[in-house]
Chain A
Amino acid sequence: MALSGVEIFKYLPKTNCKKCGHPTCLAFAMKLAAKQASLDACPDASEDAKKLLGEAAAPPIRGITLGTGAKAVKVGDEICMFRHEKKFFNPNAFAVAIKASEAGDAAAKKIEAVKSSEIDRVGQKLRVDAIAVTDEGGDAAAFASVVKQVVDGAPDVPVILVSKNPATIEAGIAHCADKKPLIYAATAENAEAMAKIAKEKKASLAVAADGLDALTALSEKVKALGVEDIVLDSGARKAKDMIEHFTIMRRAAIKKNFKPLGYPIISFAARDNSLSEAIAAAIGTMKYASIIVVNNIEKWKMLALLSLRQNIYTDPQVPMQVAQNIYKVGDAKESSPLMITTNFSLSYFIVRGEVENSKVPSWLAVMDNEGLSVLTAWAAGKFTASKIAQFITESGVEKNVNHKELIIPGYVAVLSGSLEEKLPGWKITVGPREANQLPTFLKARA
């Protein structure tokens, strides 16, 4: 919750000594409120003032980083309830559970699946983010050996250590102490021991309780024990409980600045049926979970989940877009076909992907339509014959190709006549409607 200048002023020395570079303490307080100055500039500020301002400046939901290095992921640090209010900032992490009993081949397969999970979607590289090594009440050494297998097999993938037994965690963390793992979890029974490990190893610590009241108490307790990077599990597993609990937690944190619940949420989506599990995970993505653990990561499932996450976390104010340009696809020559589309990332990447599939080298003219899709841009009057003609004329595309044939999207076939009028000497060819028909279309011409 932001503090006003007058509120901050109450906590300043009120000596107007000017050491901060401002004429009065009040003037300085105003700058602080506007976040144009830092309290460090006042040498005489009290500890109380520092604490208060520090807390006020902290985000309502703490941001936490899982892992280290190139594949580290930041979660949390969100500021709104609904994406249209501003946007959702830090996409949830998807983690796959590897059970201690899967040691050996089964674990190796999952580790491989994580490593090869990366897909390219609308220009973003998306993948399974983390591995949750899961103890099933077995012995600590067996757990530790799976942790070792994971860390050896996928050294840069963030790790979550799942066990309620501090001795087991201790054994496992020995293999990944320098990788900022997440420990799951501190409970009412083991909080002191878990907090001690987390502090020693600078790990993040999840707290798991049954219900929101117990969770609040436990979160406060762990914080008091000196752990800063906390993750929350209220025990919600059923879809209904997930939506209710996660909403209450997010609201309490964002609207009431309720600190004990101002941390990222971890959700376990496990279901017997993999599609049901995917749906439970999807609900987590939409409704405020920051770390989502699933049992299986088939490719179809991650494609769906990562696409959903990308949808939910895009900026609602600014469509994803690419730069206006004449793009070369494959080894395009002067005689290669020339196509046009809009600069909405989704349109561009779909069309480009299909042109690549066709193996027919081509030129793709991408016109700036403020990131609108072909039909939307057309309906909005931003993809009209005269605008396209102007773009083609000014683009200098005639330097790239030695012909004057332009292939337009099938959905805007109506433009072909007026385009031929506006682009004298050009032949306008209507391409297929859906991009996935482009390979057949292009091959047939080649």
Chain B
Amino acid sequence: MALTIPKETYSGKIFNVQIGSGAKAVTIGGANALPFLGFEGIFPNKPAVALEVLDIAPEDWPETLKKAIGGEAANPVSWAKFCQKSGADMIALRLMGTHPDQKNKSPEEAAKVAAEVAGAIDIPLIILGSGQAEKDSQVLQAAAAATRGKNCAIGKAVEENYKTVAAAAMANDHKLIAMSQLDVNLAKQLNILLTQMGFDKERIIMDPMSSALGYGLEYTYSVMERIRMAALLQNDPMMQTPIVCDIGMNVWKVKETMAPDAEVPEWGGLEDRALAWEAMTASAMITAGADMLIMRHPGAAARAKEVIAELM
């Protein structure tokens, strides 16, 4: 019996989305087959890896992580430059300090930091709010205006604030990250709402909501697989936006990335374990179809880039 390669016929394609400008601009998306199946499709762009930077000192980040970044984290600009030097494809600035439970910084303060960081790097910038939907709409409006012309990705637009966040992205020519909660239909619904208000679907990056290895990773994994199948096999244009996985913030709060060796001898050394946790979470998301990853540890990001190179 001779083997006939059983090929899938795809009718859809993921949109190409460019972030940043100039020589170091990055384009993500463009695939017309399920992840890395080169025998039946093309993958013009490799998944991009962003390293995360905060607008405040990372006080509640685990030691392993702080050590990896060193003193650079003292201010967002030096931190961003450090990440750029460490090989990040992009910088993701999370304006955590604006959260009411954190420093409750004003939108103006946040916008200033965003502009400074944008000016200090030549790789693309992602600008994220603190995750407090109400505050984020003000913060992201200000930050979007302050970085106009930089073609950033801003987010996250969620059900509660998508109108203002999307309007801010639209008015300042940025791309938009839209997040829903681990549900194929909710992801699609948010994209529909955005396009109904006149936002170009080819400027959206979808965040299906990430989770860490061992803590719900399988939900994100399967939701992503299903989104990709709807996009490519059923040619659903509302599912054809590239996918971003915001993994760092999920990974670096689980016990595996924090517990010292002595507390859990059966888990092995903390340094290796924590690094592996983020790198493996990233690898799973890449396998499921992530076009862009937001990570925290430069060493884990380097491993993610290594496996991406092996997959392309």
Contact surface of A with B, Cβ cutoff 8 Å:
82-84, 119, 121, 212-213, 216, 220, 238-240, 243-244, 247-248, 251-252, 255-256, 258-261, 274-276, 278-280, 282-283, 286-287, 298-305, 307-308, 310-312, 314, 316, 346, 350, 357, 373, 434-436
Binds A, one of B23-31, B84-92, B239-247, B275-283: B275-283
Chain A residue at smallest Cβ distance from B35: A243
**Shortest distance between the CB of B50 and any CB in chain A (Å):** 19
> A258-B3, A278-B280, A282-B284 known; A308 and B310 CB under 8 Å?
no
Q: What A residues does B310 contact at CB under 8 A? A: 238-240, 280
Q: What A residues does B253 contact at CB under 8 A? A: 434
> A260-B1, A275-B272, A279-B283 known; A307 and B36 CB under 8 Å?
no
Q: What B residues does A357 contact at CB under 8 A? A: 263
- Residues of B265-288 at the interface with A, using a CB-CB cut-off of 8 Å, are 266-269, 272-273, 275-277, 279-280, 283-284, 287-288
Bound-state CA distance A280–B217 (Å) is: 18
B68 in the interface, Cβ–Cβ < 8 Å?
A: no
Instruction: Please determine whether A240 and B36 come into contact, CB atoms closer than 8 angstroms.
Output: yes
Contact with A along B212-223 (1 / 0, CB 8 A): 011111100110
**Shortest distance between the CB of A343 and any CB in chain B (Å):** 16
Instruction: Please determine whether B6 and A298 come into contact, CB atoms closer than 8 angstroms.
Output: no
B81 in the interface, Cβ–Cβ < 8 Å?
A: no
Chain B residue at smallest Cβ distance from A306: B214
**Shortest distance between the CB of B152 and any CB in chain A (Å):** 30
Q: Number of contact residues on B: which range applies?
A: 35 or more
Bound-state CA distance A211–B17 (Å) is: 35
Instruction: Please determine whether A248 and B259 come into contact, CB atoms closer than 8 angstroms.
Output: no
Q: In the complex, which of the residues A220, A247, A314, A436 contacts B259, with contact meaning CB atoms closer than 8 Å?
A: A436
Further contacts, 17 of them, CB under 8 A, given A243-B35, A436-B258: A82-B226, A119-B266, A240-B38, A251-B6, A275-B272, A276-B306, A283-B307, A286-B221, A298-B268, A298-B269, A300-B269, A301-B276, A311-B217, A311-B218, A311-B284, A436-B255, A436-B259
Instruction: Please determine whether A212 and B280 come into contact, CB atoms closer than 8 angstroms.
Output: no
Instruction: Please determine whether A311 and B214 come into contact, CB atoms closer than 8 angstroms.
Output: yes
Q: In the complex, which of the residues A247, A305, A308 contacts B37, with contact meaning CB atoms closer than 8 Å?
A: A247
Q: In the complex, which of the residues B2, B225, B273 contacts A82, with contact meaning CB atoms closer than 8 Å?
A: B225
Contact with A along B171-193 (1 / 0, CB 8 A): 00000000000000000000000
Q: What A residues does B197 contact at CB under 8 A? A: none
B311 in the interface, Cβ–Cβ < 8 Å?
A: yes
Q: What B residues does A436 contact at CB under 8 A? A: 255, 258-259
Q: What B residues does A287 contact at CB under 8 A? A: 287
Instruction: Please determine whether A275 and B3 come into contact, CB atoms closer than 8 angstroms.
Output: no
Q: In the complex, which of the residues B5, B222, B273, B287 contacts A303, with contact meaning CB atoms closer than 8 Å?
A: B273
> A247-B37, A260-B3 known; A275 and B276 CB under 8 Å?
yes
Q: What A residues does B269 contact at CB under 8 A? A: 298-300
**Shortest distance between the CB of A79 and any CB in chain B (Å):** 16
Instruction: Please determine whether A275 and B222 come into contact, CB atoms closer than 8 angstroms.
Output: no
A-B contact list, 6 entries, CB within 8 Å: A247-B37, A276-B307, A299-B266, A303-B268, A307-B214, A346-B215
Q: What A residues does B35 contact at CB under 8 A? A: 243
**Shortest distance between the CB of A104 and any CB in chain B (Å):** 24
Chain B residue at smallest Cβ distance from A213: B3
Bound-state CA distance A274–B276 (Å) is: 10
Q: What A residues does B255 contact at CB under 8 A? A: 350, 435-436
Bound-state CA distance A255–B2 (Å) is: 16
Instruction: Please determine whether B213 and A252 come into contact, CB atoms closer than 8 angstroms.
Output: no
Q: In the complex, which of the residues B2, B268, B283, B307 contacts A213, with contact meaning CB atoms closer than 8 Å?
A: B2
Q: What A residues does B268 contact at CB under 8 A? A: 298-303
Chain A residue at smallest Cβ distance from B307: A279
B163 in the interface, Cβ–Cβ < 8 Å?
A: no
Chain A residue at smallest Cβ distance from B299: A275
Bound-state CA distance A302–B255 (Å) is: 16
Q: What B residues does A307 contact at CB under 8 A? A: 213-214, 256
**Shortest distance between the CB of A261 and any CB in chain B (Å):** 7
Q: What A residues does B288 contact at CB under 8 A? A: 286
Instruction: Please determine whether A304 and B303 come into contact, CB atoms closer than 8 angstroms.
Output: no
Q: What B residues does A244 contact at CB under 8 A? A: 36-39
> A84-B225, A276-B306, A286-B284 known; A216 and B2 CB under 8 Å?
yes
Instruction: Please determine whether B266 and A259 come into contact, CB atoms closer than 8 angstroms.
Output: no
Q: What B residues does A248 contact at CB under 8 A? A: 3, 5-6, 39
6 tightest CB-CB pairs across the interface, nearest first? A299-B268, A300-B268, A300-B273, A307-B214, A239-B310, A311-B218
Instruction: Please determine whether B39 and A303 come into contact, CB atoms closer than 8 angstroms.
Output: no
Q: What B residues does A82 contact at CB under 8 A? A: 222, 225-226, 229
Instruction: Please determine whether B3 and A304 come into contact, CB atoms closer than 8 angstroms.
Output: no
**Shortest distance between the CB of B144 and any CB in chain A (Å):** 29
B312 in the interface, Cβ–Cβ < 8 Å?
A: yes
**Shortest distance between the CB of A382 and any CB in chain B (Å):** 16
Q: What B residues does A280 contact at CB under 8 A? A: 307, 310
Q: In the complex, which of the residues A119, A212, A243, A316 contacts B3, with contact meaning CB atoms closer than 8 Å?
A: A212
Chain A residue at smallest Cβ distance from B36: A243
Bound-state CA distance A258–B2 (Å) is: 10
Q: What A residues does B280 contact at CB under 8 A? A: 278-279, 282, 304-305, 308
Chain B residue at smallest Cβ distance from A274: B272
Instruction: Please determine whether A304 and B213 come into contact, CB atoms closer than 8 angstroms.
Output: yes
Bound-state CA distance A308–B216 (Å) is: 10
Q: What A residues does B221 contact at CB under 8 A? A: 83, 286, 311-312
Bound-state CA distance A434–B212 (Å) is: 15
**Shortest distance between the CB of B100 and any CB in chain A (Å):** 15
Instruction: Please determine whether B222 and A286 come into contact, CB atoms closer than 8 angstroms.
Output: no
> A308-B284, A314-B218 known; A216 and B272 CB under 8 Å?
no
**Shortest distance between the CB of B35 and any CB in chain A (Å):** 7
Instruction: Please determine whether B218 and A312 come into contact, CB atoms closer than 8 angstroms.
Output: yes
**Shortest distance between the CB of A306 and any CB in chain B (Å):** 9
Bound-state CA distance A258–B256 (Å) is: 42
**Shortest distance between the CB of B232 and any CB in chain A (Å):** 13
Q: What A residues does B258 contact at CB under 8 A? A: 436
Most A Cβ at <10 Å: residue of B3, B217, B258: B3
> A243-B311, A276-B306, A282-B280 known; A259 and B3 CB under 8 Å?
no
Q: What A residues does B259 contact at CB under 8 A? A: 436
- Residues of B50-95 at the interface with A, using a CB-CB cut-off of 8 Å, are none
Bound-state CA distance A248–B34 (Å) is: 12
